[in-house]
Amino acid sequence: MILPSVLAEALQKPDRLAIAVSGGVDSLCLSAAAELARKDQNLTLCHAVSPAVPDAATGRVKAFAKGRGLVLEIVDAGEFADKRYRANPVDRCYFCKSNLYGTLTRLARHGTVAAGTNLDDLGDYRPGLRAAEEHGILHPFVQARMTKADVRALARSLGLGDIAELPASPCLASRVETGLRVEPAELAMIDAVETALRADLGEVTLRCRRLHAGLAIELDQDLMDGLDADRLAELTTRAREASRQHGGGDLAITLRPYRRGSAFLHA
C-alpha cells in the first residue's frame, strides 16, 4: 500500500509522533497510516478515557493497538475537573480539547501530537480546533486535503474492515443539550441506551440526545422510513428500559430523524 505522498511526509517528519485516538474511523485510519509511514518508529497512540467516552470506543482502540503491537497510552484528560466544561456552554468542546491536548503534549515530551481532523471538519463549528491550534496539534489529513470520504477509502485500502464503515460518533457529551450540566451518570445512561439499540439495529447512525424536554432518539431518516409503527414502538420501549435501568426515571422519549449537532444550541 502506497500512502498519498503529502500524508506520508506529514507523518514521517516528526522525530516522535503521538496520535490522539478516539476510537473512530479518522483517528484509527491515521494510526494505521502512521504505522505504515513510520515503520512503527517512535509512534505512540494515546487514548483518553472519561465518562464521555463510550466503552465500545475504548475497547476498539485497545484491540487495534494490541493486534498491531503498537504502543498505547491510556490517559485521563481531566476535563471533568474543569467547571467550564461541566457547565456545557456553546464552546464546551474548546475546554474538553484544551484539557486533552494539554495532557497529550505533556505526555509527548516535546514530540508532535497529531489528530484525525479531515477537511469536512473545517466547515463545521468546532471550538476544539481553536484548542488544537493553541497546542500545535498536527492535522495530517487536512495537510493532504483529505475529506471524510477520502479517509474511509484509505481505511478500506489499509484493510481496516468494519472500522472503515463506522458511523461518525462524537463524544457522549455532544448528546447533552447546551446549557444542561454534563453529568457522568447521564452520560452512562446515554451510552446504555445507544448500546441497547445498536445491539438490535447494528452499527447504524444513532444518537440518544439528553434535552431539556427529555430524551430524543435519533435514527437515520432512511432507516426510520423503513420501520413500521410497531417496530418504532418496540425501539422506544427498549430505549425506555435501558434509560430507567441507568437512572433515567420517567424521562419523556421521542423518536425523530437524525440531525447532526441537534443538541447544540447557538447563543
Per-residue cell: 247: 437512572
Reported confidence tier of residue 104, pLDDT bands at 50, 70, 90: very high
Asked whether residue 154 is domain-assigned, the answer is: yes
Asked whether residue 262 is domain-assigned, the answer is: no
- The C-alpha angle with vertex 53 and arms to 52 and 56, in degrees rounded to 5, equals 145
Specify which residues 46 forms β-bridges with.
20, 73
Which residue range(s) make up the domain with 224?
A: 172-257
Asked whether residue 265 is domain-assigned, the answer is: no
pTM: 0.92
**38 in the same domain as 156:** yes
**What's the CA gap between 91 and 110, in Å, rounded?**
28
pLDDT of residue 266: 66
pLDDT tens digit sequence for 188-203: 999 999 999 999 999 8
Asked whether residue 219 is domain-assigned, the answer is: yes
Q: What are phi and psi of 146, to 5 degrees?
A: -100, 130
Per-residue cell: 242: 435501558
Number of domains the chain contains:
2
**109 in the same domain as 9:** yes
Reported confidence tier of residue 204, pLDDT bands at 50, 70, 90: very high
**What's the CA gap between 123 and 136, in Å, rounded?**
20
**Residues annotated as part of the active site:** 171
- Which H/E stretch holds residue 105? helix 92-108
Q: Taking residues 216-236, what's their average pLDDT?
A: 95
**176 in the same domain as 161:** no
Domain holding 206: CATH number?
A: 3.30.70
**What's the CA gap between 249 and 115, in Å, rounded?**
38
User: Cβ distance 28 to 60 under 8 Å?
Assistant: yes
Q: What sign has the CA pseudo-torsion 241, 245, 251, 257? A: negative
Q: For residue 74, how many other CB atoms are within 10 A of its CB?
A: 13
Asked whether residue 267 is domain-assigned, the answer is: no
**141 in the same domain as 60:** yes
Domain holding 23: CATH number?
A: 3.40.50.620
**121 in the same domain as 203:** no
**75 in the same domain as 202:** no
Asked whether residue 120 is domain-assigned, the answer is: yes
